[in-house]
Amino acid sequence: MRKSWDNSGAAETVARRSAPLVPVPVNLSIGGVTIAPATVLAPMAGVTDTVFRRFIRNLGGCGLIMTEFTSADGVLRKKDQKAKRYLHFYEDEHPISAQLFGSDPQVMAEAARMVEGLGFDLVDLNLGCPAKKVVKCNGGSGLLRDLPAIGRIFEAVRAAVTIPFTVKFRAGWSDDEIVCVELARMAESCGLAAVALHARTREQGYSGQARWEWIAAIKDAVKIPVIGNGDIRTPEDACAMVTQTGCDAVMIGRMAPSNPWIFRQIEQYCTEQKLYDEPTEADRYQMIRTYFSMLIEEELPDAVGKMKQFASWFTHGVPGGAALRKAIYESKSAVDILGRVEEFFEARLCGAGVLARQAV
């Protein structure tokens, strides 16, 4: 299946674009929890903390947000401050799902009980992370080679909680070990409320194209909701995935920090005659200033690092963005970084050109 940015096979690409696109569903029910619209912010390590989640939610169009993937072992260790921080959320984040990873069924079950006690709407099992340090502990996508072990986790967690239990997984370890359909069927038989597929293998990591046909195969195999993930970069791509796979919702990961408006754009595209707003430079300024201000207000210990991390995403495509990124990277404090952002954009918007104009 070709995506909208695949320039090879021009005739096929034109044909796909001319075909009627099915809109992303207005809503989706997962175990009684309503997701409206049927769009999900994917869990991303180092990205989807409470600040970014609320930031995305406030921009509009995202039906479900998820935490960073969190170690079940860490949740049970009372002194693990990182896990505690990962699971911190505010009331305006509902509906929200906590994603856990681990390989011990009883540890996973107890961590899921704690998640339910914290007030999360759903709990999700991570079977997709390709990171070596996670895989070597038999976590994330490392479990894809041991379906019986996954089954034991499914049964233990499902018996431990009353909130909806879901799973996000990859298609398999490699092209020679595709297990996604079998895994989805097992999830359904164990009482899970929904499945989400990142349509790549563990060996692919984040390279190459996502194989949307695997999402379609799962949709044909189970009756529980199927969430599709992989290579959604525009509203048109989101609708193309729904059209080609029949999935019940779409999940967006890496595109969200690059284009935080993507969820709102999808909602606009599906409800406003295939039109959606492109952010202006003033919009981008407001977006960066808002996110950085939220980081400062939250008093996160890594606020400066977060600002520098997000600067490369948020300033992509901004004329003179290289100069702004350089100014941000050279700053020592969060307040100084915010000041550099304000100075840069106010000068541009006023036409003063205080910072040197450089190629992005």
**So what's the pLDDT on residue 243?**
97
So where are the chain's domains? 10-271, 281-349
CATH placement of domain 10-271: 3.20.20.70
- The reply to whether the predicted model has a pTM over 0.75 is yes
- Looking only at the bridges linking them, the beta strands covering 65-66 and 96-101 are parallel
**So what's the pLDDT on residue 197?**
97
Long-range contacts of 142-151 (CB under 8 A, 24+ apart): 142/103, 142/202, 143/103, 144/169, 144/170, 144/172, 144/173, 144/177, 144/179, 144/183, 144/202, 145/173, 145/177, 147/179, 147/182, 147/183, 147/186, 149/103, 150/183, 150/186, 151/186, 151/190
- Residue reference for tokens 């992005």: 360
Task: Report residue 126 CA to chain centroid gap.
Answer: 12
What span, in angstroms and rounded, lies between the C-alpha atoms of 72 and 233? 31
Asked about 129 being catalytic, the answer comes back as yes
Residues 33 and 121: beta-carbon distance below 8 Å = yes
pLDDT digits (tens, 9 = 90+) for 138-189: 677 788 889 999 999 999 999 999 999 999 999 998 889 999 999 999 999 9
- CA 58 to each of CA 52, 138, 203, 281: distance values in angstroms, whole numbers, following the listed order: 10, 36, 35, 19
Q: Which of 62, 129, 247, 270 is catalytic?
A: 129
pLDDT digits (tens, 9 = 90+) for 34-76: 999 999 999 999 899 999 999 999 999 999 999 999 999 999 9
**So what's the pLDDT on residue 33?**
98
pLDDT per residue as tens, the chain (360 positions): 434 434 333 333 333 445 689 999 999 999 999 999 999 999 999 899 999 999 999 999 999 999 999 999 999 987 678 788 889 999 999 999 999 999 999 999 999 999 999 999 999 999 977 767 777 676 777 888 899 999 999 999 999 999 999 999 999 988 899 999 999 999 999 999 999 999 999 888 888 899 999 999 999 999 999 999 999 999 999 999 999 999 999 999 999 998 999 999 999 999 877 889 998 888 989 999 999 999 999 888 889 999 998 888 888 778 888 889 999 999 989 999 999 999 999 888 886 444 444 444
**So what's the pLDDT on residue 299?**
84
**So what's the pLDDT on residue 14?**
39
Distance in angstroms between the alpha carbons of the first and the last residue of the chain: 32
Take residue 316 and report the two structure tokens written for it.
């992509």
What span, in angstroms and rounded, lies between the C-alpha atoms of 32 and 35? 9
